[in-house]
Amino acid sequence: MPVPIRPLAWLLRMMSSRHAANAAIGDVLEDLAERRDAGRWPRHPALWANLQIIRAIRLEMLAAAPRLLRSAGLILRDARRAIRAAPAHSLFVVLILAAGIALGTVTFSVVDAVVLKPLPVEHPERLVSIPTRDQDFKQRITPEIYWRLHEHLDSVEDLAARMNMTGTMATVAGITDQVTVTRASADIFRMLRLSPAIGRFWTADDERRGNTDVAVLGYRFWRQQLGGDPSVLGKDVSIGTRTSTVIGVLSSASDHPEVADLTNAPIWVPMVVPRTPSESVLAIVARMRPGVTTAQVAGDVQRLAEAPDWQPAVRRLLDLYVAPVRHWMLLALGAAALVVLVACANAANLMLTRSAARTQEMAIRASLGASRRQIALAVLAEGLLLSLGATTGALLCSIAGVRLAKVAVTTALPGMFRASTISLNGRVLAAAMACAVVTGVLCSLVPAWQTSRAPVSTLLKDSEAPTATGRRRWRSTFLTAEIATVVVLLVVSWLFVVSLIRVTRIDLGIDRTNLLAVMPRLAFRAPVDEVRQRIESVPGVSGVALSRAASLPLFGRAFHGAWWTTTLERADGTSGAGSSVKALQYRVTPNYFAVAGLRFSRGGTWQADAAGGPPPSSSTNRRLAACSETRIRWDGRCAPPSRLASSPSSGRFLTSTRAVRKRTTRRRRTST
């Protein structure tokens, strides 16, 4: 005879008495034996017997449901009465829990949106970025290496080159604006699983045939700037000095703030990677095959690049985007969790105090027939009601808190595009409700256990014994845990503040007092000299310098704000290991050092009237100067710094203000 599954038998015994459950199981087995004797043996006897037991469990649940509902209603009624009997105590508990849950909810909203939430693309964990170069600028992804990876890198499904060109002037349908243009190879759309809303994408065949004067518009740009006009297909778009034809528009699936740096560019144009040797550097995005790790991809890239000394730091795209803030945001989430635990300990202490005053009441209820389980459930229900009420208040406070946090994070991290998605979504609400339930159980578990375990006869004689000693012990435990947690939070906060103060006081080699960074969005319509003279004529401005770069030094992300890299060689012309070094090159006006307050260890700046060609002297930092006496080898792509001030193009200004303007400029001061 088949044996019933043990969990089903246990559940049947829980829903009814042990004897009734054994009788029901015996009836099922007896019926099965009769079927065997009558020749009606089921095809799967074990399955048939377990189904009969499940049917018996369902009948027991239907029979016990009214009793359970009635008992639950009585427990909730008693909990509501207990809360109304001590309104001040209940309000205090609700306020403490609401503050802790609100802090945890707001913190989790920020961390979930910025760090935890995956990218809204298909299988985002398989998207990786292959670095364009190593830290020493000795190895870089050239077109030759790109095609080698494209044809022989078997650990990835798709591989594409892409590059963002920020601050590009574009004209579409008579509308001119400064936008970000993404140059990418045709594989980018298949790799990111993008589809067109209208039109089509360019293909690899278009690139091979030379049909590259085409463009694809981003969905948001198409809707906001062009009103979603489908007749934009076939129209010309001017991107700088280049004219392309619009052949398609990305679908709305690409319009996600979480992937703004990846798919939400206003304009896309083809990047035709040459097969001939070239010195250009490419940024590569790839989609790994299922089961492949980033370490395997890095090893394959190293092998195909034929660079044994290069360790490619292949990273997942999400890790690449959130790496600058992941650690300290998780630290903030841990601190918020500790604050919630402190709130729980406070609430549990208050519940213990409340249960001490109700000891004799619970003893009378027990003497009238209430079981220990009913008494414990009444205390647990009270804690759950208080925590649910606190959660309601916490969610109301969290709505305003999330808005403030969104503004603060967006202001503090302007490059963190995922900060715009901070909100109270379903995951955050589910976490808040789970936190409320766990908090209610934790706060009332010890009081419920303490209240239900004492003998009734002893409690009726003396309401203070024997649970008073246990309550005092538990209160001391909670108080010790609170003090320990608060001390940890204070120490960590103090160390963090001290470290932050030390970081802000680090000598960067520049005088940051009354220093402003002016970074125009549009190209100048007048010569740079004229624009600089206008800025110098502003009252309170004592000096203006210009830097031609992606951003000011110590201010940008790409190339650390540098214009290009250059090679420093030994002056005696010797070759070999250590004879040359790569260095970042900045193009600045001669007075940049005086305006920025940069001090020279030796020598000084060049003359402002230097003629064309490489400057007779250049400035290097102390670390490079300590290597050896060097000279700069200029490549033909870099114009000398003396030509900076004459071209009518965009630039980055650095202005220094006098002390009389200190009070008004301090709010706008920007560290370079």
The answer to whether residues 210 and 194 touch, using CB atoms and an 8 Å cutoff, is no
Q: Is the pLDDT of residue 671 over 50?
A: no
Closest CA to 474 of 455, 498, 449: 449
Mean pLDDT of 139-144: 80
Distance CA 583, CA 210 (A): 36
Q: State residue 215's pLDDT score.
A: 92
Bigger pLDDT: 221 or 365? 221
The helix or strand, by DSSP H or E, that contains position 435, with its residue range, turns out to be helix 426-453
Question: Going by C-beta distance under 8 Å and a sequence separation of 6 or more, which residues neighbour residue 23?
Answer: none
pLDDT digits (tens, 9 = 90+) for 277-302: 777 778 888 999 999 999 999 999 98
Rounded to 5 degrees, what angle do the CA atoms 657, 506, 512 make?
5
Bigger pLDDT: 8 or 549? 8
Closest CA to 653 of 643, 664, 662, 644: 644
Q: Is the pLDDT of residue 201 over 90?
A: yes
Question: Going by C-beta distance under 8 Å and a sequence separation of 6 or more, which residues neighbour residue 465?
Answer: 458
The answer to whether residues 648 and 528 touch, using CB atoms and an 8 Å cutoff, is yes
Distance CA 216, CA 188 (A): 12
Bigger pLDDT: 367 or 183? 183
Q: Is 234 left (phi over 0), alpha (psi -120 to 50) or beta?
A: left
Cross-strand pairs, 466: none
Rounded to 5 degrees, what are φ and ψ at 189?
A: -70, -40
Bigger pLDDT: 566 or 387? 387
Tell me, letter by letter, the H, E, C secondary structure of 523-553.
Answer: CCCCCHHHHHHHHHCCCCEEEEEEEECCCCC
**What is the token pair recorded at 216?**
């694809």
pLDDT digits (tens, 9 = 90+) for 606-653: 765 544 444 444 555 554 454 444 444 443 333 334 333 333 344 556
CA atoms within 13 A on the CB side of 548: 21
Q: State residue 613's pLDDT score.
A: 47
Question: Going by C-beta distance under 8 Å and a sequence separation of 6 or more, which residues neighbour residue 459?
Answer: 359, 360, 362, 363, 366, 467
Q: Is the pLDDT of residue 197 over 70?
A: yes
The letter for the amino acid at 611 is: A
Closest CA to 355 of 101, 91, 85: 85
**What is the token pair recorded at 424?**
């109270």
Bigger pLDDT: 625 or 218? 218
Bigger pLDDT: 202 or 582? 202
Q: State residue 650's pLDDT score.
A: 47
Q: State residue 644's pLDDT score.
A: 37
Confidence of residue 192 (pLDDT cuts 50, 70, 90): confident
The helix-helix angle for 372-412 and 426-453 (nearest 10°) equals 150
**What is the token pair recorded at 334?**
């841990």
SS3 call for 304: helix
Bigger pLDDT: 52 or 492? 52
Mean pLDDT of 90-111: 88
Closest CA to 301 of 97, 532, 128: 128
Q: Is the pLDDT of residue 33 over 60?
A: yes
**What is the token pair recorded at 125?**
């964990």
The helix/strand count (H/E) of the chain reads as 19, 17
**What is the token pair recorded at 38?**
């009558």
Mean pLDDT of 362-383: 75
Confidence of residue 655 (pLDDT cuts 50, 70, 90): low
pLDDT digits (tens, 9 = 90+) for 444-474: 776 666 666 656 555 555 544 444 555 566 6
Q: Percent of the chain at pLDDT above 70?
A: 72
Distance CA 536, CA 516 (A): 13
Widest distance between CA atoms in the chain: 115
pLDDT digits (tens, 9 = 90+) for 406-435: 888 877 776 566 777 888 888 888 888 887
**What is the token pair recorded at 127?**
């998207």
Mean pLDDT of the chain: 75
pLDDT digits (tens, 9 = 90+) for 521-565: 556 666 777 888 888 888 888 888 887 655 555 554 443 445 556
Bigger pLDDT: 604 or 191? 191
pLDDT digits (tens, 9 = 90+) for 518-527: 766 556 666 7
